[in-house]
Structure 1
Amino acid sequence: MTESPDAFEKRARAFLDAHLPPRPARTPSDRVALLEEIDPEREAGTLRAAKRWQGLLYDAGFAELDGERADAFAALLSRYDAPDLQPLLVGLHIVAPAIRAHGSDDLKRRYLRPLLRGELTACQLFSEPDAGSDLASVRTRAVRDGDSWVVTGQKVWSSGAHHADLGEALVRTDPDAPKHKGLTLLLVDMHAPGVEVRPLRQMTGGASFNEVFLSEVRVPDADRIGPLNGGWTAAITSLSSERAALGGTVDAVPPDLVERLAEQARRRGVLTPAARARLGRLDAALTAAAQVNRSAGLDPAAAASISKLLVNRALALAVEAASAVLGPSLAADLGDGDHAWAEFLLGAPALRIAGGTDEIQRTILAERHLGLPRDPR
């Protein structure tokens, strides 16, 4: 029998009450960073908490909700002080969908449950140096050796690779085929011999991204996602899921962002008509981005690109509003909590680029969903 909305809400509330404290009242020093500097000990603690919480969600049946139930659960969860699941985002929302859609039954059996429970973490090994946004320009080679592949190459901009157990790697298995045809998607053991991860320091001071060197790393053919030389199709599934997940990062923006900026403007005496108009545009952009995430009837791939565009627009407006309101105080920590906004401004550009720039999203919508002529390449 289908559970009624009231019964679902009652069960969800009981679960949350049993496992989480209420969300504490906000203080002026609350962090608003999108990508913040975090020391290794704190990062390890965040990862442990995320794994434990995801395991509880999975076991209780709240890890794979969609539609109205996902919205209802998110609304309830917003009232509680829940662990941050960001360290598990790639495994949950990028790698798992590709395995579910293209993996063999054996691959699904071995990896889906551990990923969805948070037991395994994952990273994406797609981008390469000098390739820019052309993900199909893959130079990392995989050569067949019996029942395994020997992988050699370099990947870059891999979020969370420094704590990942698995790497979803797009590799070239047929160097003579057209660039989109000779690719295969493999799951790499990030603890295997030959894997080296080096952090990339970003302007926020943190190191969320990494470059990964693969030196004759052996990968069993049983850990292949999708058909041999058919990796581009499987990769598109991951990329679409990534856009959807990053489009959903509107939820990562503080829910009271507009209110907090208005409060800052009021305190400084700069809540002018122009400032009110700027905050109004920001509020409208955040509302639009959230609405697309909840819309029914849209093609999921198109919705992902639209959502990503709207989130990027909201982030740009948020940076503009924060800069106008806070002004020079962004550059100095005066002990009143204002300097926390500097990390918001420094982290926003990376989040806007992640998962594809605005230009890439518009090209996807134009070519794949509107049937417009392809850009010359």
Structure 2
Amino acid sequence: MLWNIAFRTLFHDRGKLMAGLVGVIFSVVLVNVQGGLFFGLIRKASLLVDQGNADIWVGHRGMHNVDFPHDIPERWIHRIRSIDGVAEAQPMRIGFSEISLPDGGHEGTMIIGLKPATELGRAYDIFQGPEDALEHVDGVIVDACDDDKLLSPAIGSIREIGGSRAVISGKCYGILSFLVTPYVFTTYDRSVEFSGGDPSMSSYFLVRVEPGVDAHAVCAEINKRLDDVSALTADEFANMSINYWLTRTGLGLSFGAATALGLLVGLVMVAQTLYAMVLDRISEFATLKAIGSTESEILLLLGAQSSLVAVVGIAIGIVLSWSIQFLFSTPRAEIMFSQGLYAGSAAIVFVICLAASGLPYLRVRKVDPHSILQG
């Protein structure tokens, strides 16, 4: 009977019910979209590592972010190749330069130098151009999503990078830097021409271990043999790169503040709706108390109303969030959802809705059941 009263009371004023649903839907959508944008953005901080096909990254002892390396002597790689369990080790260079534009301007770029005969460090898949684009004479690979910055270079077009001739031999898609500078992939040797620097130095050594070998044990051996480097598994280095940007910028705080504001707005709207419903039917609650309903039963009734609003609003909000991702997510502004994000947003909003039912409950507690009998 109590559940029937809860639902009938809730659906009696559909205008107020819709207001409550809008609050829940708004909160769910905002939490998911804000969270999805955050994960999509911060993923770029470790994109080279996540898709670099390496089990271990070896860099300078003070390394903290994949985009800002410190040089290490290339000759050290031979000590790594001699370690038991290492299947392959290749050097990688990362440097900054500028690419010329057809209008006479220049655009800052990040040069990624890779050995052409390996998959280590190859974070891209060819989107336009031949599969062996990296091996073409003076060839470089840029990302199609950076066309607006590079003024839409065609395959085969000639540019200058660091004063040296470069041919756009291929394009990838969706490999974007956390910084505003586009990635430019080229061969390991050619990268020195584009970005300058000492040709005897590398930025990282990328290591692939043999099947069944513990990558952490290989890292420990590398750190033992080479005092001036740090060897980390790909997951550890990816997390380090992400944490660098989270702790050095206000990124997490800004996204968190906006999400908290959305939750607060949703809480206020739901609480206000439930409170208005109670005020409109305060005599009905007094009647329930007069005929013997306990405080716990009244609280259960309000909780049932909040739960129904929460469940319906969460379901609609998740569908809308998915629709927004499908329609608006791009590599430049990627919205990344996960089951954990969906579940977390649903749980948070549901708890908030239950908490919101406490406000009208405080009003009902003050109702004197004798007032309805005297009337």
- The normalised TM-score by structure 2 is 0.27
TM-score normalized by structure 1? 0.27
Higher strand content, 1 or 2: 2
Whichever of the two has the greater Rg, that structure is 2
Higher relative contact order (CA 8 A, sep 6+): 2
